[in-house]
A and B are shown apart, each in its own frame.
Chain A
Amino acid sequence: MAEQEGTHRPAAPAAAAPKGRTAEEIRQDPLVSATVEKVAYAILDAKEFAGEITLIADRDEIVEVARAFKNDSFNYLVDLAGVDYSTYPGYKGDRFGVSYVLYSFDRNVRVRLRVYTDAKTPIPSVSSVWKTANWQEREVFDMFGVGFSNHPNLERILMWDGFNGHPLRKDFPLRGIDTGAAIYPEIFPDGGGPKAGSTGKTPQNVNIFKGEWTQYGYGIPAGYDGRKTQMEPAPELAGAVADTARPTAEAPWHDPHLALDQRLELAKGVDLKAKLFAAMAQTDCTACGWDCEGYAAALAAGETKDITLCIPGESETETALKKLLAEAKTM
């Protein structure tokens, strides 16, 4: 990357480090060499980008390394940042990295130390070296779930205590129900927080508006047993059921109290439009812009291609419509 870097920017000033130095050369850099020598056993690797030196340190020796740097005038811990490398392209190694940016007032220079760890192994805390590490380590713990041993007060700092999950991990679901934690113990028996991976779906694909979160590793609210029984329509939805929503001789399925399967059973052997009609929620709520029959006709005539307009029908209507339209196409 460094070579490509050099092509579209002016030549670096003479004082700046030349590009593409090897790890050994970086270690010999006069800015850090004195310190690196003292703790050479704990410095595993060295990198450089845009003139910034990154030293990879041994996780278990980080306190010693930090202390050595502090004694060597790097007395200001600028920043302590966690990184989750789990989706980093081509990365193999321990999942989490923690970067310590150090600054020396005497030399006016920054150096970055980094250690890697997995989710289970704690990193020795540097809060005994710099007081400022206290909250920053708490934040890394909060956001990544990386532990710090010998930390005086390792608890969550930005999220609340009952929160289950670590938001900056790459597998933290971006969409999902609000993590109500302690408020809904029956929904979140173990303190709440979205959990990923239990359904094989990637979290990003979960559609909260269609209730998919119930199959997503959460408990199910009391009184709600999925799709097996027809639930009473919500009060505001019940009011939306129009007068016209009653079965007729031509359309015996036009009854909002029938389940989808029953309606499709009644609609066997009729034309496409009637089948589509039967797949609707039968409430004539006009949320789609037509009544149920009108939407079916519009779909059948190709007037609209959008099969997601039936709101009370939820995803089951959508699935049925998709299936019916696909069948009609193959015929």
Chain B
Amino acid sequence: MNPWMLFFIWPVIKFLIAITIVLTIVAAMTWVERRTLGFMQARLGPNRVGPAGLFQIIADPIKLMLKEDILPASAEKVAYFLGPMIPLLPAFVVFCLIPYGPPPAFAVTRVNVGLLLIMALTSTAVYGIILGGWASNNKYSLMGGLRSAAQMVSYEVPFGLSVVGVLMLCGSFDLVKIVQYQERHVWNLLPQLVGAFIFFVSMNAESNRVPFDLPEAESELVAGYHTEYSGMKFAFFMLAEYASMLVNSCLMATLYLGGWTFSIAGYGLTTAALSKLGLLGGLIGAAIFFAKVMALMLVYVWFRATFPRFRFDQLMDLGWKWMIPLALGNIFVTGILVLAMPNLKIDAGIYPYGELLMAVVGAAIIALTLFLVTRGPRRPAAAARPTEPPKVIHASRVSEA
């Protein structure tokens, strides 16, 4: 093939298709989230614009674009402008690196250190939030920006550590290879239960979602780092948040849920099986992938409807005292098992005994951690319901009128 075609034209076309789909999903996600929240909260959600409120997806951006773009008088103008742009750009670039279906057709580019690159790019998003929070020249924005900085930096560590287990199992940074490893064994979710758990918690914290939405906690900081933003700049922040949710869900689906495949121990819809079907197989693979991604996105929404918000020190406590040691422990255990498996001969053949062993161990560790982390302060619960019959305090002389 013409090298221009191979390295420039095709990637650009694929990127444009991918970005269109991604943007549509991001926009649709707002509708899905609001409808789902409505379903969970005994209300309707958007239902006025178009059938079932579907055109809300279009109405919202139009409204935001037509709104006045306010620049606070004492804001730092350049930084204020850059704030919303910075998180958005890496979020979109990252979509080039994610394989949506069987390669090569359904991945824009295939980078052999894809995972590393994605994590490097996504962690730049925090700059935009800090910059925006600081540049607004508002104390609430500043506090939101600072909270965001501390939170994202803290959770970047367990986020990175949690995927090390996957890397050791699969032996590659290449997302395609990670998926192909999973189709030959089982989903990494099972052997890496602890890792997946940490990854999921950290990705919630990374994308500032409930219960980790402290940087924009509306009841404490008004709107946190984007208090002063309006119109399209505000929309950019929102877009970046949803894009980051989507990136994280895609990563989780790829790393732990087998990506575009649906198979165990080489049986089922593997890459090879899908490739036989040609383009149709590719589309099926992409559909499987997006189904997994959407399921994860719905978990985000479910969380939002369920949890109250952490306090800041509790958030830090969780990150540093629980997530990081747990992730390190996960690396240690995975390392031992990865080394031991060839010797123990339990990785032989088609049956993933090793993974199952790790799954059991992981489940036990998670159960113990959840128990410890959520036990809360130790004190007996208050006696709210006295059982003895009510005591009538002696009748008053004064109240007798």
Chain A interface (Cβ < 8 Å from any Cβ of B)? 12-13, 15-17, 31, 50-53, 108-110
Contact = CB atoms under 8 A, between A and B. Distances in A.
A6 to B, nearest CB: 13
Given A13-B400, A108-B395, A109-B397, 6 more contacts: A12-B400, A15-B395, A17-B397, A50-B401, A52-B398, A108-B398
A110 B397 CA distance: 9
Contacts of B395: 15, 108
A50 B394 CA distance: 19
A15 B399 CA distance: 11
Nearest to A50: B401
5 contacts: A15-B397, A16-B400, A51-B401, A52-B398, A109-B396
Contacts of A51: 397-401
A1 B145 CA distance: 68
B42 interface: no
A34 to B, nearest CB: 16
B70 interface: no
B384 interface: no
A17 B401 CA distance: 10
A15 B400 contact: yes
Contacts of B398: 51-53, 108-110
Interface string B54-92: 000000000000000000000000000000000000000
B401 A108 contact: no
Nearest to B397: A15
Contacts of A50: 401
A12 B401 CA distance: 7
Contacts of B393: 108
Interface of B: 393-401
A171 B398 CA distance: 34
A53 B357 CA distance: 80
A15 B395 CA distance: 9
Contacts of B401: 50-51
B400 to A, nearest CB: 5
A209 to B, nearest CB: 39
A52 B396 CA distance: 11
A52 B400 CA distance: 9
A108 B396 CA distance: 6
Contacts of A108: 393-396, 398
Contacts of B399: 51
B264 to A, nearest CB: 68
Most chain B CB atoms below 10 A, which of A13, A17, A50, A51: A51
Contacts of A12: 400
Most chain A CB atoms below 10 A, which of B398, B399, B401: B398
Contacts of B400: 12-13, 15-16, 51
A15 B400 CA distance: 9
B59 to A, nearest CB: 41
Contacts of A31: 397
Nearest to A108: B396
A16 B396 CA distance: 9
B18 to A, nearest CB: 59
Nearest to B400: A16
Contacts of A52: 398
A87 B398 CA distance: 29
A16 B399 CA distance: 9
Contacts of A16: 397, 400
Contacts of B396: 108-109
A15 B397 CA distance: 6
Nearest to B401: A50
A13 B396 CA distance: 11
Contacts of B397: 15-17, 31, 51, 109
